[in-house]
Chains A and B, each alone.
Chain A
Amino acid sequence: MLHETVLCLLVVGIFSLFRTRENYDFWLSFFLTAFVTLVFAFFLMDWHVLGSDAFKTFILDRSQSENIKLDIISSKQNYILIFPFFINTLLALFNNLIFKYEKHRKNMLSLFVFNLISFIMLICANNFIQLMTFVFIIDIFSQLLIFNSSASKRYSIYNLVADMGLFLVLAMLHGKLINLDVGNISHYYETGHHRDFIMFVIMISLSIKFGLFLFQGYWLDLKSAKFHTLYFLPYLSTPMAALILFIKFYPLLVVSPSFSPLLNIIVILSMIWGSVCAVLNPQIKEKFVYCNMLSIAFLIKLVEKADFMWNMAFSNILICLFVFNLCLYYLHYEMDREHGKNKTAIFTVLCAFMIDLSCLSATLSSLLTKQNMFWIIFFAVLFLFVLASLFVFVSPKLQDKTASLDSSFRTISVMGLATLSLVYFSYPFFAYYWQTCFVLAVFVLLSRLHPMKFIKLSDSFYAHLQHIDLITLLYNKCITEPLKHAGVLFNILIDFIFLERTLYPIVSSFNGFVIKSYRHAARLGFLYYLFGTLLGVLLFICFFYG
């Protein structure tokens, strides 16, 4: 069951934290990765034999109001949801093993494993505490993975704001429901109100965590982080945590009439902005960020269209998107760092790329319905365009305009044909064979024709694009600066002017005046005595008679 899986992974994670000699780093990582693979195998077996849902609960605290629990629920739905993260984590572990520039394999392994555990616990969460706890923990693991102050600064701040938004919503829910169960969310509107407000807060928080349009600024800062952690983050950290929350919070979202229009706006803007920036941006890491923005926005819409029911198709999409990142990264790495010397590696990557593209197209074809046709086609067009642009960007030889049908293109075409054959004979995708062919063909054509050369803009524009960040500028002008000015204004107006310069000086002046008068009177000598005596006598007479 899942709790056994978690336990095994925990053991792996803890074991990998022990300090050992550097020489043993690779071999230990190898064995631990193998063990994780074994755990995955058992995971699959459990999934296969699973009958009814199994609950494993750890009670952290008992109280009269309610118990604080940690739940690990082994249900089919959870298995489906965990599956893509498990696969992606495994791929990340393999990459960790084979990537020759990674010096701290064991540490990275432990981070990946703990991250996976956090995802499992988040997916199994049946109460608010577990939910919030593991969202935070995933944020912290992302921070540790980034391991670069300037890169992670905005990342942490944005995620903190998003998490506080979730905190606000959950606190409101708990205040009304007096219950921590996630399942009771749907009962909120029996006693509570403010549907639009709650939906809005959740959507803003999740959009920040997804890194959608207007909120992608902190992802762009990650360009100073290492590349081989950058591929990990979009599909195995905060955006995916946000996706899980998106699924769990759906009862709060769908009751608001403004939800659908808002989601559509966010998704469309994200997809368009993502595609445009992915194509135009000259920085490879930023291209990745925008490409992922496009993909994730589409995935959200897809899930919403499926009534928030996660299925294997979505798992496949996630895996495919992850693999795209991995393949493009390796392609860039081989072409840029290794200067294309390692033909075997390039060949393998290209194969994987093609298979991945086929899987994705087949999966999307399987999901095609009347409700989501527009979105899938829209995404497909944009995605292919972007992918082709990325592909061309990472493969310098293909950018060469003067080169005619050179060996690389021949290689791609061969790959494409080989993949087609593979796809044809692969059972799950057999039904979508022609759609897959079409997609592959379009991709190859786009890569060859290199349409970007027609819309290439001036060098100064590129330079300008490199240096400005419109969204960040917008934030600074509309949020950050006004907040700072408001803070300074409050402090100056209320604290400084009212208290320091008005109230306290009035009191001080009054004190000063009294003391001065007293000292002045005392200097009068005998007149002071006389005046005092007369005053005393007068006082006596007045008060004696009342």
Chain B
Amino acid sequence: MSIELMLIILLPLLGSLFVMSAKDNLLQTFKNAEQAALLVILVNIALIFYLFLSLSPRDIQNGFVAQYSWHFIGIFDFSFGADVLSLMFVFGCQIAMFLGVLGIRREQQNQKQILVYSLIYLSLLNGYFFALDMMSFYMCFAAQLFPLYMLIGFSLTERQHKLLVRLSLHHFLGAMLLLASCIFIFSLKQNDVLLVTLDKLHLSYRKSIFVWGGLFLAFILRMPVWPFHHATTAVWGALKNPLTFLALHVLPLSGIYGFMRCWPLNIPFEISVLTPLFQALCILTMVFAAFGSYAYINAGNKLSNYIFVYDLLYFLAVFLPTDVIRLNISYSVFSFLLITSCLVVLQAHVFRESIRLNVGIKSILSDMPRARIAYCLFVLAALGLPVSAFFWNNFLIVSEIFNFHLYVGIIVVLCITLAGVSLLQNMYVLKDENSSCPDLSDVKDIDFTTFFVMMGVAFLLLLSLVKPLWFII
């Protein structure tokens, strides 16, 4: 048994209990809470590194480096295990949340509650990525929704809560559909089933529709695919808190992970007729997002739409009838998470300063040297700088798409280009030194710790051409 896995899953939960027990309304309280959260995540990162180090070349292909079994309450056989795929996702999430915690240092409201729920969310997320059997997978899939709801609720204003209800309905519907699938599978096998054996189940025609249809819709509802995208994008646009934004940002990626784990290579015949329709919807949504990001001048919308476009790219990639690019998707997602996390934190800082000083965001970076360097670096990385794993793995993904569908590939590249152009335009608006702007001498730059961490992340990205953790795997 591997105790490291359970530590990675449970440590954030323990951290949240510590933060919960801290007294309210003291500045020192938040400092302690924040340090506890950061420490917990750092310990998790160290454990993940340790797991990576124990990977052998054979494990990289198709093995699990660590496994943990738990006969839960005498009914279910929970299994947790880590392979490169899950470790990359988990690692990316830890760094994203780490940056998110750094990003909320200057927030005024509900910091303690946000930290508590974000740690609970992280714990469940880790459990989700490490789950090997259907029940533990479902439990973490569904349980995540509660802390996420609380996180978003604390970050939105009263008038925006209607958006949150819509979003929650979408996600909960997905959870219900997945539960129905689990029920049918469980009743068939009278026991818990490993995710790798899902495609070997012999289901009747009707059951097959319920099971695969439920699985499919459950993960789709997490993705911003039309017409389910509206709830997610509306909430994204309203969120100003970077930690909450990142928590919500991880959710579509968890849907992609779900597909990678559960979805069979050969789509079941019963629902294969709907596949072209969904791919078409996906493309359509990508086009909306790309055009939307270009059309609107709001910087928050541009970044959200950019993230949107890439989520859909991964979704399309996961749906290709090939297993060849699975690892590449995970590497790309890892880099994508890092890049977008840094951009989100920087953007939140910029917006916060502009609200505080009651100025527009135009040229605001010109008086923030650290933020400007970090922002430019990460925007370049987001555009697909070839020296990062983001570029090479996206290249492979797109070329694989071209292998199967030429026109889809062309549209994908066009959308990525448009999204990239919008991001670039946004960068120039923020750092334009030549336009006349009001006095920004009071503007606060990002603190040195945040800058240092971001440079560390940039260094990690810049060193990796192929694999993000090339020095380990």
Closest to A177 in B: B399
Question: A457 to B41, alpha carbons, bound, how many Å?
Answer: 71
B276 at the interface (CB under 8 A from A): no
Closest to B324 in A: A65
Stretch at the interface among B127-135, B200-208, B213-221, B423-431: B423-431
B34 to chain A, nearest CB (A): 34
> With A and B bound together, what is the CA distance between A128 and B398 in angstroms?
14
Given that A129-B392, A175-B400 are known contacts, is A160 also in contact with B386, CB under 8 Å in the complex? no
Known: A487-B295, A490-B291. A172 touches B399 (CB 8 A): yes
**Which stretch, B65-73, B306-314, B413-421, touches the partner chain A?**
B413-421
Q: Given A68-B392, A150-B432, A171-B395, verify A500-B295 contact (CB < 8 Å).
A: no
Query: How far apart sit A485 and B227, CA to CA, in the bound complex (Å)?
Result: 21
Interface contact B417-A160, CB-CB below 8 Å: yes
Starting from the known contacts A133-B386, A136-B384, A174-B399, 4 additional A-B residue pairs (CB-CB under 8 Å) come to A140-B385, A167-B395, A172-B402, A503-B227
> Across the interface, do A495 and B398 meet the contact criterion of CB distance under 8 Å?
no
Q: Would A160 and B395 count as touching, CB distance under 8 A?
A: no
- Does B230 lie within 8 Å of A157, measured CB to CB? no
Number of A-B contacts (CB under 8 A): 134
Give the interface segment out of B184-192, B252-260, B351-359, B462-470. B462-470
A140–B292 touching, CB < 8 Å: no
Given A164-B420, A167-B395, A168-B410, A490:B287 Cβ within 8 A: yes
A488 at the binding interface (Cβ < 8 Å): yes
Distance (whole angstroms) from the CB of A81 to the closest CB of chain B = 21
Within 8 A of A (CB), among B151-169: 166
Specify which of B226, B400, B421 is in contact with A157 (CB 8 Å cutoff). Answer: B421
Which residues of B297-341 have CB atoms within 8 Å of chain A's CB atoms?
324
Point out the residues of chain A lying under 8 angstroms from B420, CB to CB: 160, 164
The chain B residue with its CB closest to the CB of A485 is: B295
Q: Evaluate contact between A175 and B294: CB separation under 8 angstroms.
A: no
The interface size of chain A toward B, counting residues with CB under 8 Å, comes to 47
Residue pair A499, B287 in contact (C-beta under 8 Å) = no
Contact partners of A170 in chain B: CB under 8 A: 395, 399
Contact assessment for B380 and A494 in the assembled complex, using a CB-CB cutoff below 8 Å: no
Residue of A whose beta carbon sits closest to that of B432: A149
Is B383's beta carbon under 8 Å from chain A?
yes
Interface of chain B: mostly helix, strand, loop or mixed: helix
Give complex CA distance A68, B467 in Å. 11
Residue from B166, B287, B384, B465 within 8 A of A60 (CB atoms): B465
Give the complex CA separation of A140 and B226 in angstroms: 36
Provide the residues of chain A in CB contact with B383, threshold 8 Å: 160
**Chain A nearest Cβ from B237, distance in angstroms:** 11
Q: CA A484 – CA B296 in complex, angstroms?
A: 8
Whole-angstrom CA separation of A137 from B380 in the bound complex: 11
Contact across chains for A487 and B296 when beta carbons are under 8 A apart: yes
Can you list 6 contacts pairing A with B, beta carbon distance less than 8 Å?
A149-B432, A160-B424, A483-B291, A486-B295, A487-B296, A490-B287
Q: Is A194 an interface residue (CB 8 A)?
A: yes
Is B434's CB within 8 Å of the partner chain A? yes
In the bound complex, residues from chain A placing their C-beta under 8 Å from that of B421 are: 157, 160-161
A-B pairs, top 4 by smallest CB distance, nearest first, are A487-B295, A487-B291, A175-B402, A133-B386
Query: Contact: B470 with A168, CB < 8 Å?
Result: no
Residues on B with beta carbons closer than 8 Å to the beta carbon of A495 = 230, 288, 292
Task: Mark each residue of chain A from 138 to 157: 1 if its CB lies under 8 Å from any CB of chain B, else 0.
Answer: 00100000001110010011
CB distance from B275 to the nearest CB of A (A): 20
Q: Which residues of A contact B387 (CB under 8 A)?
A: 133, 136-137
Indicate whether A266 reaches chain B with its CB closer than 8 angstroms. Answer: no
* Residue interface bits A195-237, CB-to-B below 8 A is 1, else 0: 0000000000000000000000000000010000000000000
CB pair A157 B424 closer than 8 Å: yes
Within the assembled complex, what's the spacing in Å between the Cα atoms of A128 and B288?
31
Residues of A within 8 Å of B287, CB to CB, are 490
Q: How many angstroms between the C-alpha atoms of A381 and B226 in the bound complex?
A: 59
Name A494's contact: one of B226, B294, B396 (CB within 8 Å): B226
A10 within 8 A of B: no
B295 and A68 within 8 A (CB): no
B291 adjacent to A129 (CB under 8 Å): no
CB of A359 to closest CB in B, whole Å: 37
Is A491 located at the chain interface by the 8 A CB criterion?
yes
Query: Chain B residue with minimal CB distance to A172?
Result: B402
Q: Indicate if A132 sits at the interface (CB-CB under 8 A).
A: yes
List the B residue with the shortest CB-CB distance to A147.
B433
Known contacts: A150-B434, A491-B288, A499-B230. The answer to whether A484 contacts B295 by CB under 8 A is: yes
Q: Determine if B386 and A172 form an interchain contact, defined as CB atoms under 8 angstroms apart.
A: no
- Distance, CA A490 to CA B428, complexed state (A): 25
**What residues of B have a CB within 8 angstroms of the CB of A400 in the complex?**
none
Q: Which of A153, A171, A498 contacts B398 (CB 8 A)?
A: A171
- The proximity string for A residues 475-505 relative to B, scoring 1 for CB distances below 8 Å and 0 otherwise, is 0000000011111101100110011100110
Task: State whether the Cβ of A448 lies closer than 8 Å to any Cβ in chain B.
Answer: no
Q: By the criterion CB–CB under 8 Å, are A132 and B386 in contact?
A: yes
Closest to B465 in A: A60
B398:A167 contact, CB within 8 angstroms: yes
Q: Which residues of A contact B39 (CB under 8 A)?
A: none
* Contacting residues, chain B, for A133 (C-beta < 8 A): 386-387, 391, 465
Interface flags for B375-406 (1: CB within 8 Å of A; 0: not) read 00000100111110001100110111111001
Given that A60-B465, A164-B416, A167-B384 are known contacts, is A174 also in contact with B431, CB under 8 Å in the complex? no
Nearest Cβ on chain A to B377's Cβ, whole angstroms: 10
Residue of B nearest to A194 (CB): B406
